[in-house]
Amino acid sequence: MPEMTEKEAQYFVEQVLDQGERSAISVALTSQNPWKHEDFNEPVKTDLGTVKAKIKDFHFERVSRKCCYCRRSLEDASIETDREHVIPKGKKKSLSYDIFNLSLACKRCNMTYKGEKVNHIVDVDTIEADLRNPDRYLIPHPNIHSYEDHLIRISVQFGAQQFTSYRRITPQGQFLYDFVRLDKLCVDELDIAQGGKKVDEVVAQVLDLPLDGI
């Protein structure tokens, strides 16, 4: 996932969104719950709906059609895909439609484990003024960091047998691994006959990564 530049974010606001959609966001941000577009009257309700669709399309390609946290495929999984607020919208209402604060995640990571938690942010009270500072996030931020620099998902399936593991490369990768309980997605059913090594050992050797993480 490449870093989102200010120019790219500005392009989304000024070129992807139309004037009606930008105005609808301004109206929504004055309400108690700006993300709940069903509560608004027309045309704001419809415009907010199209804003959300454009946000999803924009980020779908940025995350290579995979959850920004667990990296499982979101292809053909529209009902299981959430527009993810890195800083929860319930904590920072003003960032509800900020494209830099948004990404895509599976419902498992977003709803079951992350939710409204803010312990992945350093001093959430002052984050708005320092949104692009990578040191303010204890996890790989989907719009700042390259995921694979911090955490690598390895998944192999042979017939009915499967192997899935995560290699934690940095402390941020380890934090994310614990934060959304990626250990619960790990499966080790597959051995391969390469010098008697198990598949996780072979993969670690090929990628030049520590077998047991950081």
**pLDDT tens profile 55-85:** 999 999 899 999 999 999 998 766 678 999 9
Q: Is the dihedral of CA 47, 49, 52, 58 positive or negative?
A: negative
What pTM, to 2 d.p., does this model score? 0.86
Task: Identify the band that residue 212 occupies on the pLDDT scale cut at 50, 70 and 90.
Answer: low
pLDDT at res. 89: 93
Is pLDDT of 27 > 80?
A: yes
When the pLDDT of each residue in the chain is averaged and rounded to a whole number, the result is 88
Instruction: Please write down the HEC assignment for all residues of 31-62.
Output: CCCCCCHHHCCCCHHHHHHHHHHHHHHHHHHH
Choice between 203 and 161, residue whose per-residue pLDDT is larger = 161
User: With contact defined as beta carbons under 8 Å apart, do 84 and 113 qualify?
Assistant: no
